[in-house]
Amino acid sequence: MNRENWVDRLFQIIRFLWVCLLGLAAYLVILYGIPLLYPFLIALLIALLINRPVNFMTARLRIPRWLSVTISLLLLILLVSGAITLIVTQIVVEINELSRLIPGFVNELAQYLQITISRDFLTGWYEQVQWIYSQLDPEYKERVDNTLQSGISSLTATGQDLVVSFLTALKNFFLSLPNMATVAVISVIGSFFIAKDYPIWKIRFRRILPRFVNTRLDQILADLRSALFGFVKAQLTLISLTAALVIIGLLILDVNYAITIGLITGLVDLLPYLGTGTIFVPWIIYQFFKGNYSLVIGLSVLYGIVLIFRQIIEPKVVGENVGLDPLLTLVSLFVGLQLFGFLGLIIGPVSLVLINALIKADVFADLSRYIKSGKI
């Protein structure tokens, strides 16, 4: 390899290290900057959300931009606060109704357990276990006792940990309320200033960036906007299919309030991990202890069908609406779940959407070309 080739290779290595350094710097900025600036990122999202209505009122209705922003923010606040009020009110009503019904359910369950325990089968089973235990060697009895004590201790410790975790989470939630209120106020005020001067900020930002970056940025934003609407559409499609499947199944099982329960199950299906299990698992357990085994089998089969259907259809629906390959969507869901837990089910597909947008905008191709030749 001659001297010129060595020099070219050296500059390629330097450019590669430079790109890696910029990537690391961007990662550190995101890692340490978001916790400090997230109220203003929320403000930016709010400003982008209301930008189209503000432009419409400013251009068509001849309303000053600051007044258009004020009206849009007030409407958004009223809409969000109204939705939260309705949800909280409905939850309170449901909790009151549930608290009224629970004593009856508990008494019914207690009566069933009492009848079950008093049956000769369980009594004979208990006596048989006691006889087998009495025939064991002292060494094995000690092992059994230690195992039972260890199991009871582990179960007790787990219960204590759950209670402590719940109380700690509840305490942290109440302690975070003042901070949440502060963030909300800052976000609303920040969104007002960003939306009011949005065209000016957009021009300033565009002037800083080179022309080819602006071109790539337009394409990336267009892809992300399309993917965002596609993701929302995919989620609405999934909960609609889940609700329809549950309603049909409950109608076949001749369950009362099948339509209402199906619609609620469809909404609950948005919850990561829990999903339809939030409705079906307690329901199946209750019916089991109540002795309604035919309904237990029917609900279990329906629950299994819903789970399998959701796992099969979700990658395909999300992939088609967001413009991603179903297999890659499934991989992003799994990897996001493993790395970030519940939030990973959102972070995974969103990250894949962002990578896909960067690929479509030839960002990685430009970086490769820059590393090889120093030109973009």
Give pLDDT, residue 123. Answer: 57
Cα distance between residue 270 and residue 345, in whole Å: 11
Query: Which of the 8 DSSP states describes residue 197?
Result: T
DSSP alpha helix (H) spans, the chain: 3-59, 65-117, 120-134, 138-196, 198-208, 211-252, 258-268, 277-290, 293-322, 326-340, 344-360, 363-373
* pTM (global) more than 0.75: no
Q: Domain spans of the chain? A: 1-138+179-208, 210-376
DSSP 61-80: S---HHHHHHHHHHHHHHHH
121 pLDDT exceeds 60?
A: no
Over residues 274-282, the mean pLDDT reads: 76
91 pLDDT exceeds 70?
A: no
User: Could you give the percent of the chain with pLDDT greater than 70?
Assistant: 76
pLDDT in tens, 156-173: 777 667 667 767 766 777
pLDDT-derived band at 209, boundaries 50, 70, 90: confident
Give pLDDT, residue 75. Answer: 92
| Per-chain mean pLDDT for the chain | 77
pLDDT-derived band at 124, boundaries 50, 70, 90: low
Q: Is pLDDT larger for residue 146 or for residue 38?
A: 38
pLDDT in tens, 304-343: 888 888 878 877 777 777 666 667 777 777 787 777 776 6
C-beta of residue 66 within 8 angstroms of C-beta of residue 57: no
The winner for highest mean pLDDT among 105-114, 132-141, 223-232 is 223-232
